[in-house]
Amino acid sequence: MEALVRMMNALDYMETKMEERLDMDEIAKTAYVSPFHFQRMFHILTGMTVAEYVRKRKLTLAAQELASSSVKVLDVALKYGYDSPESFSKAFRRIHGISPSEARLPGVSLKAFPRLSFHLSLKGDQDMDYRIEDKEAFTIVGKSLAVSCKDGENHREIPKFWGRCHDDGTVAALETMAPGELALGVCLDMNVETGDFTYMIAVKSDSDKASGELVAREVPASTWAIFTSIGPLPDSIQTLFGRIFSEWFPATGYEHAGGPEIEAYTVGDTCADDYRCEVWIPIMKK
């Protein structure tokens, strides 16, 4: 619970700095976590990146100021961090659907994006099975997809990617390449500021097995929190990710270490209510 209180403190801090260029290091310090962990946790809890949230808040405040005063559009643009009236107008229109000058018209409709708050609640109706393991670095070989968290794109595109890789024989080829190894879904190169990352369908294997569309990547040595997901895919594993960040992290002394996140899939009916797989999150002590 203390971790979520600190997240609320970080939101309060962000709100006082809307007229400045926000410093992610300073925001994370307010929450007593690393910048990566703060941004990853923020996205999981809110469904948007910190940059998206700040942009929407600034444009909400800018619209209120334009509608209630005679301040120049240029002055408002500069106040909220835009380098030119053109860039401000483009961003303003994307949110409000009108130009900044039109915001002054009587009866015009404006969008209001309210400040966020985290409502703390105690849960415990469902167990979270997990274990902590240290693992040496290992190599994975597989097929990759560039994807984004924006507007839930990853939740739509990754299941489709798995379907294509099953249909075109990629998954079968990987299983043949590394008999006995679990099929892995690996999130790499995560840019928590933009929400972009690389997703790989892969297996543990030697790098010399990579050819054609298959690429090799190294997963660094890490301490992993390994959670068990039970239920049909993809809903069960997507729900588990949310619970890890909204329930497990706030209740422990750990934070995200910034490395790849891994889904480890066992053989079985992925649509079954009792299907079991795992989520590996790299962690470190705060």
pLDDT 10s digits, 181-239: 999 999 999 999 999 999 999 999 998 989 899 999 999 999 999 999 999 999 999 99
One-letter identity of residue 249: F
Which structure tokens are listed for 129?
């099975």
Q: What are the angstrom distances between the C-alpha of 177 and each of 94, 135, 143, 183?
A: 48, 22, 13, 11
Mean pLDDT over 55-62 rounds to 95
Sequence-distant (≥ 6) Cβ neighbours of residue 145 within 8 angstroms: 157, 158, 161, 198, 199, 200
Tell which residue, 197, 283, 187, 274, has the closest CA to residue 228.
274
For 146-175, the pLDDT digits (tens) are 999 988 899 899 999 999 999 999 999 999
Tell which residue, 23, 211, 234, 250, has the closest CA to residue 118.
250
Mean pLDDT over 139-150 rounds to 95
Tell which residue, 34, 48, 103, has the closest CA to residue 73.
103
Please say if the pLDDT value at position 121 is more than 60: no
CATH 3.40.50.300 fits 130-285, yes or no: no
**pLDDT for residue 181:** 93
* Lowest pLDDT segment from 78-92, 108-122, 210-224, 268-282: 108-122
**pLDDT for residue 89:** 95
Which structure tokens are listed for 21?
């260029």
Please say if the pLDDT value at position 117 is more than 80: no
Tell which residue, 175, 155, 278, has the closest CA to residue 224.
278
**pLDDT for residue 125:** 56
CA distance 65 to 88: 14
Please say if the pLDDT value at position 109 is more than 70: yes
Please say if the pLDDT value at position 277 is more than 70: yes
The residue with tokens 């989520």 is 279
**pLDDT for residue 202:** 98
CA distance 172 to 143: 12
Parse the chain into domains and list their residue ranges: 2-104, 130-285
Query: pLDDT-based confidence at 116, cuts 50/70/90?
Result: confident
**Rounded to the nearest 5 degrees, what angle is found at the Cα of 94, between the Cα atoms of 145 and 91?**
95
Q: Are 280 and 221 in contact (CB under 8 A)?
A: no
Q: What are the angstrom distances between the C-alpha of 111 and each of 60, 67, 95, 103?
A: 7, 12, 7, 10
CA distance 281 to 286: 15
Tell which residue, 214, 218, 209, 281, has the closest CA to residue 252.
281
**pLDDT for residue 140:** 98
Please say if the pLDDT value at position 126 is more than 80: no
One-letter identity of residue 277: C
Torsion of CA 56, 61, 63, 64, to 10 degrees: 140
**pLDDT for residue 45:** 87
Residue-averaged pLDDT of the chain: 92
Query: pLDDT-based confidence at 107, cuts 50/70/90?
Result: confident
% pLDDT > 90, the chain: 77
**pLDDT for residue 119:** 61
CA distance 187 to 199: 5
- The structure's pTM equals 0.85
% pLDDT > 70, the chain: 97
CA distance 167 to 92: 43
Residue 244, SS3 per DSSP? helix
**CATH annotation of 2-104:** 1.10.10.60
Residue 139 phi, psi dihedral angles, 5° rounding: -100, 140
**pLDDT for residue 47:** 87
Mean pLDDT over 267-285 rounds to 96
